[in-house]
Amino acid sequence: MSPSVTLEPPPRRRLAGLDGVRGLAALYVVVYHVSLRAFPGYPDAGAPFWVGWFSYGQFAVLVFIVLSGFSLALSPARAGWRLDGIAAYARRRARRILPAYWAALAFSLAVAWLVVPQPRSGIPDVMSVLVNGLLVQNIVGAPSPNTAFWSIAVEVQLYILLPVLLLMIRRRGALAMVATVTLVVAAVGIVGPHVDRLDTFVTESAPELAALFAVGIVSAGVVVAGTRRSWPWPWLALVAAAPVFATIAWQGSAWAFDRLYWVDLALAPAIAFLLIGLATGRPAPLLRLLDSRPIHGLGSSSYSLYLTHAPIIAIVYELIVARLLHPGTAAFFVSLAIVLPLTIAFARAFASVFEHGYLQRRRPSPVPVPVPALGRAVPRGGVVAG
């Protein structure tokens, strides 16, 4: 083959099921925010018992955070826990996160100013625009144009932390890294309630998510190492999750909400074990479900669904449901019947422009690298997983 001929870039390799996990987690957040509107004041609202299982929106955020650490660490784990350059990493993250986020911020501000603001939040002002635009809304207080945005700021801040965590792994090992992060997070959780400013930080920023991010990174190392593929990871996930959910069922939602910091930490191993199981091909029935066309399609626009659903829920509930029904079960199911198809359709259209379309426009052409021994060129970068 002539050296002037280049090969097509290799197909992007992805781990089956992960997009489906993202999609279902985002869908759960939508249902959670609908339940907040239909049952205001829960758990003191006299709502049916089943509402409790829709009231843990932060659990979906836990899945996002562990999955984020897992996905971002797969390539570094294959390369000795090294990134291919801080600048390149920052550009990739910025292209992936910022266009859709800033577009969703503009949409959320327009809805809040022109139609209806977010519940329990004032009308956004100039400070709202600045702190949300700079992704510091979990640190600087301001009326929120979108109640889902707080976790995006936390996740971006964890992206900044990733190179430091990889350096810790190279110098001290993966277990030492995750143990150090978890101990720091636990210390903050213990001291936080006794220090006003630290308590506010714990409430607004959920620092326990740093430990879950670290657990996701270590999980990627387990998958890449491949030495424990035969372990019963799905069963380990079930064993790790069962005591947590059994305790919540026994003690009640109010108990769990008061101890959410520690409940979040307790769920980290279960989420990590599940992701490792999926990455190693088990359980096969769950993988088939997660990779089915509807759920995989939902996952492909899950980021846009997460970013844009809250303003749509506010419009539907305030302008339609609240005018016809009192808060309660009927309002919940009517809201869902309207909100679910509307938010999913909007997210797909939004993603086609601000996620997939933007990334396709900005994705550079592969740079041919000559390989003298073969007399041909191959694209720089190789196969990307995750």
Q: State the Cα–Cα distance between residues 247 and 243, nearest whole angstrom.
A: 6
Torsion-angle region of 61 (φ positive above 0: left; ψ -120 to 50: alpha; else: beta): alpha
CA neighbours closer than 13 Å in the CB half-sphere of residue 157: 17
Listed residue (356, 346, 352, 349) closest to 308, CA to CA: 346
Per-residue pLDDT of the chain (386 residues; tens, 9 = 90+): 333 333 333 344 567 789 999 999 999 999 999 999 999 877 766 778 888 888 888 899 999 999 999 999 999 999 999 999 999 999 999 999 999 999 999 999 999 999 999 988 889 999 999 999 999 999 998 999 999 999 999 999 999 999 999 999 999 999 999 999 999 999 999 999 888 888 888 888 899 999 999 999 999 999 999 878 789 999 999 999 999 999 999 998 889 989 999 999 999 999 999 999 999 988 999 999 999 999 999 999 999 999 999 999 999 999 999 999 999 999 999 999 999 999 999 999 999 999 986 555 555 444 333 333 333 332 333 322 33
275: exposed, middle or buried (C-beta count within 10 Å: 0-12, 13-18, 19+)?
Answer: buried
Cα-flanking dihedrals φ and ψ of residue 334, to 5°? Answer: -65, -40
Q: How many CB atoms lie within 10 A of CB 84?
A: 12
Domain ranges of the chain: 18-379
The single residue listed with the structure tokens 């971006």 is 156
Model pTM greater than 0.75?
yes
- The Cα–Cα gap between 302 and 21 comes to 9
